């Protein structure tokens, strides 16, 4: 006991003797840096020369340099774009805020425009070089000064390794449950004063941690960058389309037109699944990839998402605005649904800025018959193999893994569930039944995804 007490006193003495950097060592400098940047921003306009990756405030808008030209994102009504001093570490941040908030944050550092000249002001966001660090708001990626990435508490001056929430990314709107204005059936939202940074600690679930956990998990990664409505992805199957007929057990190529996203970007699905936020390219489009899944249809009810006849991750970029997937062994006779799954690079579903929007994916229902003809002997006018498209992408994924045989052989006389055009805002009246009695060919693997 006496030894333990002596050891504890010794350790306490050593700890207290360690030099600690006082907050004042960077607080005043942060304020002076923010003032200097705001003065520099005041002299910029949208035609000012810039360096790709550079961020600034231009005409009270958040500005990103893309291709040597500033791209402006206006702040919300009543807000301005400004450089603010970080609180927990050396550096500044660029974000949309109010004039009152900007002035209060700078004043709290003890800095003023008439104060001493700042030492080594960081001009990285304005195109120069500096010794301190500048970060940007959630409207853009972090920028780097000569000292590295932006500051943040507990991260050694690097905001991306900090364990402290930076004030520039605090979403005050998360404190509202939405019930101030109610609609019929509306439920209250969860609320948070710290961006839900510890939400998963309340769930009693394992952290997703980049893994595909089939029993469920909680993912702490932020949702990330959201595109504009002009950059929402869209897809449409060119082959097979609704009502097309494909010959059984014969190779064919799925062809899908796609727009509004940068395809061909995928991460390691075994180590980095849902492990990073959604990201946008310099055109404001989601950086990601797509998948093709084919399921056999045996009833009018919802299909089982764990069962599929074919799955392929499309890991290569679209060619001529189209993605293709080779079903090399074909499919047994029956009725099928082909669907797209468009995702961000870390395999999460694409996130877009508004609730009311058209589907980001596509689906089509088609028939696979023993002779490639429709029920009743009508000839098939659609060429199933290749469809005149480029060769399949995503060659590292598995080929057609359907091993199930058609329990009923032919179509069984049922009508093909071809969907008619949906009148705007009206319900689709064509609810044809699928006469197939075949079993779901569910032997397929997930193509490495």
Q: Which of 226-240, 293-307, 389-403 has the lowest mean pLDDT?
A: 389-403
Residue spans of alpha helices (H) in 44-201 = 99-108
pLDDT band at 416 (very low <50, low <70, confident <90, very high): very low
Write out pLDDT tens, residues 85-120.
887 778 888 988 899 989 999 999 999 876 544 343
Which residues, other chains included, contact 37 with Cβ-Cβ below 8 Å and sequence gap of 6+? 83, 92, 94, 121, 122, 123, 125, 126, 134
Cα gap 94→222, rounded to integer Å: 19
Cα gap 335→369, rounded to integer Å: 9
pLDDT band at 375 (very low <50, low <70, confident <90, very high): low
Beta bridge partners of 61: 58, 74
The DSSP element (H or E) to which 265 belongs, if any, is none
Write out pLDDT tens, residues 305-337.
999 999 999 999 999 999 999 999 999 999 999
Res 167: pLDDT: 87
Cα gap 96→192, rounded to integer Å: 21
Residue 331 · residue 294 · CB < 8 Å: yes
Cα gap 81→71, rounded to integer Å: 14
pLDDT at 407 over 60: no
Cα gap 229→89, rounded to integer Å: 36
Backbone angles phi, psi at 289, to 5 degrees: -160, 180
Write out pLDDT tens, residues 48-68.
999 877 889 999 898 888 778
Rg (CA), the chain: 28
Cα gap 377→53, rounded to integer Å: 61
170 class by beta-carbon count within 10 Å (0-12 exposed, 13-18 middle, 19+ buried): middle
E-strand stretches of 250-408: 252-259, 261-262, 286-296, 310-314, 322-327, 334-340, 343-344, 363-369
Q: What tokens were used for 440?
A: 């779901």
pLDDT at 152 over 60: no
Candidates 232, 183, 237, 260; CA nearest to 357 is 232
pLDDT band at 447 (very low <50, low <70, confident <90, very high): very low
Residue 91 · residue 133 · CB < 8 Å: yes
Cα gap 8→15, rounded to integer Å: 11
Q: Omega into 240 within 30° of 0, i.e. cis?
A: yes
Cα gap 314→293, rounded to integer Å: 11
Residues constituting the chain: 449
Distance of CA 88 to the CA centre of its chain: 29
pLDDT band at 23 (very low <50, low <70, confident <90, very high): low
pLDDT band at 166 (very low <50, low <70, confident <90, very high): confident
Q: What percent of the chain has pLDDT over 90?
A: 53
Residue 297 · residue 303 · CB < 8 Å: yes
Nearest-10 Cα torsion for 393, 399, 404, 405:
80
Cα gap 47→41, rounded to integer Å: 13
């Amino acid at each position: 006991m006496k030894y333990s007490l002596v050891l504890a006193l010794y350790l306490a003495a050593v700890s207290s003797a360690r030099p600690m950097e006082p907050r004042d060592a960077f607080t005043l400098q942060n304020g002076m840096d923010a003032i200097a940047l705001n003065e520099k921003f005041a002299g910029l306009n949208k035609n000012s020369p810039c360096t790709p990756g550079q961020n600034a405030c231009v005409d009270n808008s958040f500005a990103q340099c893309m291709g040597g030209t500033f791209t402006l994102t206006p702040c919300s009504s009543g807000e301005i774009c400004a450089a603010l001093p970080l609180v927990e570490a050396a550096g500044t941040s660029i974000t949309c805020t109010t004039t009152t908030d900007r002035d209060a944050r700078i004043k709290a550092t003890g800095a003023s425009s008439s104060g001493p000249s700042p030492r080594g002001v960081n001009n990285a966001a304005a195109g120069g070089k500096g010794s301190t660090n500048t970060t940007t708001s959630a409207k853009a990626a972090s920028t780097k000064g000569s000292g590295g990435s932006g500051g943040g508490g507990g991260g050694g001056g690097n905001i991306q390794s900090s364990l402290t929430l930076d004030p520039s990314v605090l979403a005050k709107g998360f404190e509202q449950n939405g019930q101030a204005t109610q609609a019929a059936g509306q439920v209250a939202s969860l609320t948070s004063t710290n961006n839900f940074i510890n939400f998963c600690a309340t769930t009693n679930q394992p952290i997703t941690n980049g893994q595909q956990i089939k029993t469920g998990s909680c993912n702490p990664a932020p949702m990330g960058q959201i595109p504009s409505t002009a950059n929402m992805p869209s897809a449409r199957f060119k082959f097979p389309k609704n009502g097309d007929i494909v010959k059984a057990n014969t190779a064919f190529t799925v062809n899908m037109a796609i727009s509004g996203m940068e395809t061909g970007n995928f991460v390691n699905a075994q180590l980095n699944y849902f492990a990073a936020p959604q990201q946008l390219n310099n055109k404001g489009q989601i950086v990601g990839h797509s998948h093709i899944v084919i399921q056999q249809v045996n009833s009018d009810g919802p299909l089982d998402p764990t069962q599929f006849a074919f799955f392929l991750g499309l890991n290569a970029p679209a060619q001529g605005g189209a993605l293709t997937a080779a079903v090399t062994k074909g499919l047994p006779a029956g009725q099928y649904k082909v669907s797209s799954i468009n995702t961000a690079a870390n395999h999460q579903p694409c996130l877009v800025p508004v609730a009311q929007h058209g589907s980001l994916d596509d689906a089509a229902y088609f028939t696979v018959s023993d002779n490639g003809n429709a029920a009743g002997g009508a000839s098939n006018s659609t060429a199933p193999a290749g469809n005149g498209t480029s060769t399949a992408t995503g060659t590292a994924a598995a080929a057609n893994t359907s091993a199930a045989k058609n329990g009923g052989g032919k179509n069984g006389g049922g009508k093909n569930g071809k969907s008619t055009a949906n009148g705007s805002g009206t319900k689709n009246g064509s609810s044809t039944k699928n006469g197939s009695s075949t079993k779901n060919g569910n032997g397929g693997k997930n193509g490495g995804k």
